[in-house]
Structure 1
Amino acid sequence: MNIDFIDEMNQVTDEELEWLKNLIEYAAEMEEVNQDAELSITFVNNSQIQEINRDYRQKDQPTDVISFAMQETGEDEIEIVGEELPEHLGDIIVSIEKARDQAQEYNHSYKRELGFLIVHGFLHLLGYDHQTVEEEKEMFERQKHILEEFGLKRDG
């Protein structure tokens, strides 16, 4: 997979980026995603993600993760296709501040929280959602399975 990491905060270490790359590649393998697929992951602060959340989701508050799937074609959008084009899954935006706060709030490691948010965002890019009870159950079970198989349990 081609993963473009953008660290607007300059707070994510090279070791964390390598670990996150391994996690995404593991999740992609479990979900049978094309190995040539691309995605971007951007790390921001609470005010930056609040602005994105307000502008795109009409929710004027910081959140932990937002995903923009490229495989969904909305109204008045043109689908770009071609054999030579790599599959672009979309963009994941994570608030580092929110991840740290939630790790403390949920009493587990920052690493576990960051992994949870990345997998959550990744599954959204693949079409998983949690608008209904059934969708939520499916998505959260899949998320938990990926994290546990990768070695990220809730207590760590």
Structure 2
Amino acid sequence: MSNTSEIFFHKEDISFRFLHKEQIIQWIKEVAKKEKKSIGYINYIFCSDNYLLELNKDYLNHKTLTDIITFDNSDGTLIESDIFISIERIRDNATRFETTFQLELYRVLIHGVLHLCGYKDKKEEEKNLMREKENKYVTLLNTKYNVPRGTK
């Protein structure tokens, strides 16, 4: 494996234009570093609800819709992962949580990375810490990397 981290963005069964790739890549690398991790590779795969539902059923035995599934192939402090994100869930959740699509997308992007850094979100205190970290790092994306939060 090389010493350079690789972060890729793919789409599976949808049409989707992902903006601000270079800034997002730098942001993700910085978050990993702040959490004392390094990135070997992350493949983000944007897909539909149905595509992610099938993965959820096949690999996790869950029969519910979800916004993200993170497959962790990490070793020690080296992050390696495939992260699947339903763009339909992001849109619906943005409406439900009264936020922008972009902001919800960034929150979910970093949510997956935080899981890879060891954070959990099953218990209430874990969820609160995860949300605090998400908010902190999304603010960093906006302020340091000048990535807009989008408009409702």
Q: TM-score, normalised by structure 2?
A: 0.79
Per the alignment, in what secondary structure is the counterpart of residue 46 of structure 2? strand
Q: Does 1:12 align with 2:17?
A: yes
Report the equivalent of 1:63.
66
Q: Does 1:105 align with 2:96?
A: yes
Q: Structure 2 CA distance, aligned partners of 1:44 and 1:155?
A: 21
Report Cα offsets for 1:11-64 as digits up to 9, x if no partner. 123x34334324322322322322x52111100100000111111222212210
Matched to 2:15, the amino acid is N
Residues 102, 149 of structure 2: 8 Å contact kept: no
Q: Structure 1 CA distance, aligned partners of 2:21 and 2:139?
A: 19
Q: Structure 2 CA distance, aligned partners of 1:45 and 1:131?
A: 24
Q: How does 1:1-156 map to 2 (within 5 A)?
A: 1-8=5-12, 9-13=14-18, 15-34=19-38, 37-71=40-74, 87-151=78-142
Q: Structure 2 CA distance, aligned partners of 1:146 and 1:140?
A: 10
Change in 2 beyond 3 A, CA 1:68/1:141: same
Report the equivalent of 1:84.
none
Unmatched tracts of structure 1, length 5 or more? 73-80, 82-86
Change in 2 beyond 3 A, CA 1:143/1:3: same
Q: Structure 2 CA distance, aligned partners of 1:54 and 1:62?
A: 10
Change in 2 beyond 3 A, CA 1:148/1:62: same
Q: Structure 2 CA distance, aligned partners of 1:16 and 1:59?
A: 33
Per the alignment, in what secondary structure is the counterpart of residue 151 of structure 1? helix
- Structure number with greater Rg is 1
Unmatched tracts of structure 2, length 5 or more? none
